[in-house]
């Protein structure tokens, strides 16, 4: 790998601090925008006094298939850290399905050989929605269709309800569509059915080992058939909604579908399992439960001998899972790898919910550090509570760590992620989201004060929007969508298509640079080169242009 060339034009005494305000985009200034509604005097002052611009954080600008695809934290941090745009999971899977390469893979051939014309079952587990952040329902349908023509007679689908990357109570739409599809296959003699499920935030899809009980609930329901029993998934959905008014899909309890003989789809020896999510962070733990012989996170009761495969490989360093249908993007030569090679000390910090984003995803889907001597990571354990109940989360503790590292003088480059805007935005609670935005603003003030004293620079941005749209918008009228049953505006819990800010706080500015007006449609991928410039390095030749033009 080539070495960085020195720039020698921007010299600051203090560090360069990259502040990622997760989920805080720039949307319409109305009552549904928590960022606009919040009291954020510090960000307001920065945007009035400092150089800043808007960045694209969605669609093709971050490697997704189309510009109507919302950005997300995974692809956002990949782009921020890589300095170039790589085709991401959704696009890679879509291309593999269109080309049929996914069904020419040795893993798919192994699944077909194991299950076609046999009594064994193919189990498909994943997020049932078209949010295109962790999965897409059309990928599931494609697998079911290919399985049917390949002679696989027995399929069980284990559905995880979304309500986070799609409207908060839309599960019945996706479930009915799936049930109708499976009924059509049953009419043709196939034994295809839904077997279990639950909401994504309480069943199966934990991440960063924040709460293994979430994975255990999924294991019990999917594998052991021990969830609350219902005659159908739709009965489970309707019952949960009637029992707890106002519950949203992501928090629906786990369940198991049963008939007169018991669970219809427990996972047994000889079966095959495909986890059809393409995104890795919420797929790794359930994968470990299936694959690892030595496992101590919860009592599995039994571990069936199955052929397990992921839609993609979720962790390339740890080789999780061993078998997968579509190869993940190969992201190399990230900004942190260049800095490690140059001997520049780096510090990364967030709380558990976003720790992997400033480390694993930032480093190009790499778990390990590039250099143990120059890199230091800090993970602050997240609270195990719904985030709208404590919207300040761990912003104070993250800020404390950053200030300590600034004052140490040891780290020229520091990056941090405040998860508040995203994690609280996903709850659909506008008032809590307003507090989340205000929390980030107050925390930022503390960091800027120390940077001013030490002669440092802050680059302040976000990885995508979220709390900037807390109500669903009617695409035809542009007005808020109203629930006819309640007369209230529909809450929005998903990400947005809005741009994000990029603000340069540089108290030592002496005219050394200006904003680069030659970039057409700047995006997150331009941030890496900008970081290097502020650290007094030229960008690598193939990196996207810097957001500043050095004089």
- Report pLDDT digits (tens) over 189-224: 999 999 999 999 999 999 878 899 999 999 999 999
**Strand pairing class (228-230; 255-259):** parallel
Q: Is 462 helix (H, G, I), strand (E, B) or coil?
A: coil
Residue owning tokens 């904003």 = 515
What is the CB neighbour count within 10 angstroms for residue 431?
13
Mean of pLDDT values over 17-25: 98
Give the pairing of strands 255-259 and 191-199.
antiparallel
Measured distance CA(379)–CA(139) in Å, rounded:
34
* pTM listed for this prediction: 0.79
Tell which CATH architecture fits domain 16-86+331-481+489-550. 3-Layer(aba) Sandwich (3.40)
Quick one: tokens of 242? 């009637």
Q: Taking all residues of the chain, what is their mean pLDDT, rounded to a whole number?
A: 95
Residue 550 pLDDT > 70: yes
Please give the average per-residue pLDDT across 479-506, as a whole number: 90
Q: Are 101 and 245 in contact (CB under 8 A)?
A: no
Residues 428-459 have pLDDT tens digits of: 999 999 999 999 999 999 999 999 999 999 99
Which tokens hold the place of 251?
Answer: 């928090």
CA distance 380 to 395: 10
Predicted local confidence at residue 89, as pLDDT: 86
CA–CA dist 92, 139 (Å, integer):
11
List, for residues 465-490, the tens digit of each pLDDT value.
Answer: 999 999 988 877 888 988 877 888 98
List Cβ neighbours of 80 (8 Å cut-off, separation of 6 or more): 18, 20, 362, 461, 463, 524, 525, 527, 528
For residue 478, the model assigns a pLDDT of 85
Query: Is the pLDDT reported for residue 523 higher than 80?
Result: yes
Angle at CA 327, nearest 5°, toward 321 and 331? 105
pLDDT value at residue 316: 65
HSE-CB of 519 using CA atoms within 13 angstroms = 24
pLDDT at 499 over 60: yes
Name residue 161's beta-bridge partners: 199
Annotated catalytic residue 73: yes
CA–CA dist 380, 417 (Å, integer): 11
Report, as an integer, the average pLDDT of 416-426: 96
Q: CA 81 to CA 225: how far, in whole Å?
A: 42
Note the pLDDT of residue 450.
98
Greatest extent of the chain over all pairs of C-alpha atoms, in Å: 78
What architecture does CATH give domain 90-326?
3-Layer(aba) Sandwich (3.40)
- Quote the CA–CA distance of 303 and 121 in Å, as a whole number: 16
Q: Which of 162, 143, 164, 186 is nearest to 309 (CA)?
A: 143
Catalytic residue among 5, 73, 327, 443: 73
According to the model, what pLDDT value does residue 475 have?
74
**Structure token digits, residue 512:** 């050394």
- HSE-CB at 346 with a 13 A cutoff on CA atoms is 28
Q: 260 CB contacts (<8 Å, ≥6 apart)? A: none
pLDDT, average across residues 397-414: 98
Over residues 34-82, the pLDDT tens digits come to 999 999 999 999 999 999 999 999 999 999 888 888 888 989 999 999 9
Q: Which helix (H) or strand (E) holds 196?
A: strand 191-199
Whole-number percent of the chain with pLDDT over 90: 88
- Supply 524's token pair: 């997150």
Question: What are the residue ranges of CATH 3.40.1450.10 in the chain?
Answer: 90-326
pLDDT at 317 over 70: no
**Rounded-to-integer distance, Cα 161 and Cα 197, Å:** 7
Q: Measuring CA to CA, which residue among 328, 337, 299, 368 is closest to residue 83?
A: 337
Q: 54-58, 122-126, 278-282, 434-438: which has the minimum mean pLDDT?
A: 278-282
């Amino acid at each position: 790998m080539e070495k960085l060339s020195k720039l020698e034009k921007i010299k600051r005494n203090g560090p360069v601090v990259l502040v990622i305000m997760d989920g805080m985009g720039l949307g319409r200034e109305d009552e549904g925008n928590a960022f606009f509604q919040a009291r954020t005097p510090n960000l307001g002052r920065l945007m009035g006094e400092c150089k800043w611009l808007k960045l694209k954080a969605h669609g093709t600008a971050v490697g997704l298939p189309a510009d109507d695809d919302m950005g997300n934290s995974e692809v956002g941090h990949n782009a921020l850290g890589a300095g170039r745009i790589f085709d991401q999971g959704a696009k890679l899977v879509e291309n593999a399905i269109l080309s049929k390469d996914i069904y020419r893979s040795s893993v798919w051939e192994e699944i077909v050989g194991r299950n076609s014309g046999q009594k064994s079952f193919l189990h498909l587990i994943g997020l049932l929605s078209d949010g295109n952040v962790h999965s897409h329902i059309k990928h599931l349908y494609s697998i079911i269709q290919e399985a049917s023509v390949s002679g696989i007679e027995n399929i069980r689908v284990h559905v995880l309800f979304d309500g986070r990357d799609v409207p908060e109570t839309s599960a019945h739409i996706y479930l009915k569509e799936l049930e109708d599809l499976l009924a059509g296959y049953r009419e043709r003699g196939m034994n295809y059915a839904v077997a279990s499920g639950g909401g994504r935030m309480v069943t199966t899809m934990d991440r960063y080992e924040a709460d293994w009980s979430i994975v255990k609930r999924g294991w019990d329901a999917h594998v052991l058939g021990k969830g609350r029993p219902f005659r159908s998934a739709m009965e489970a959905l309707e019952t949960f909604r009637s029992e707890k008014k106002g519950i949203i899909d992501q928090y629906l309890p786990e369940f198991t579908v049963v008939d007169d003989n018991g669970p219809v789809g427990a996972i047994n020896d000889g079966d095959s399992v495909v986890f059809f999510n393409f995104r890795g962070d919420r797929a790794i733990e359930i994968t470990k439960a299936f694959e690892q012989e030595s496992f101590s996170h919860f009592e599995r009761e039994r571990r069936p001998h199955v052929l397990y495969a992921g839609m993609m490989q979720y962790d390339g360093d740890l080789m999780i899972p061993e078998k997968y249908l579509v190869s993940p993007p190969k992201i190399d030569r990230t900004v942190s790898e260049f800095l490690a090679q140059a001997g520049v000390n780096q510090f990364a910090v967030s709380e558990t919910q976003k720790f992997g984003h400033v480390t694993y995803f930032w480093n190009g889907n790499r778990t390990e550090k590039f250099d143990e001597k120059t890199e230091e990571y800090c993970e602050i354990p997240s609270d195990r509570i719904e985030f709208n109940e404590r919207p300040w989360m761990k912003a104070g503790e993250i800020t404390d760590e950053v200030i300590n590292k600034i004052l140490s003088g040891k780290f020229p480059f520091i990056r941090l992620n405040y998860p508040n805007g995203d994690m609280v935005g996903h709850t659909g609670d506008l008032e809590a989201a307003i507090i989340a935005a205000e929390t980030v603003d107050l925390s930022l003030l503390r960091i800027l004060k120390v940077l001013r004293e030490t002669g440092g620079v802050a680059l302040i941005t976000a990885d995508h929007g979220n709390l900037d749209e807390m109500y669903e918008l009617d695409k035809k009228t542009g007005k808020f969508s109203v629930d006819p049953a309640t007369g209230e505006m529909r809450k929005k819990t998903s990400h947005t298509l809005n741009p994000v800010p990029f603000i340069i706080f540089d108290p030592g500015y002496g005219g050394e640079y200006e904003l680069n007006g030659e970039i057409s449609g700047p995006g997150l991928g331009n941030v890496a080169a900008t970081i290097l410039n502020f650290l007094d390095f030229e960008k690598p030749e193939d990196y996207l242009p810097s957001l500043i033009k050095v004089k």
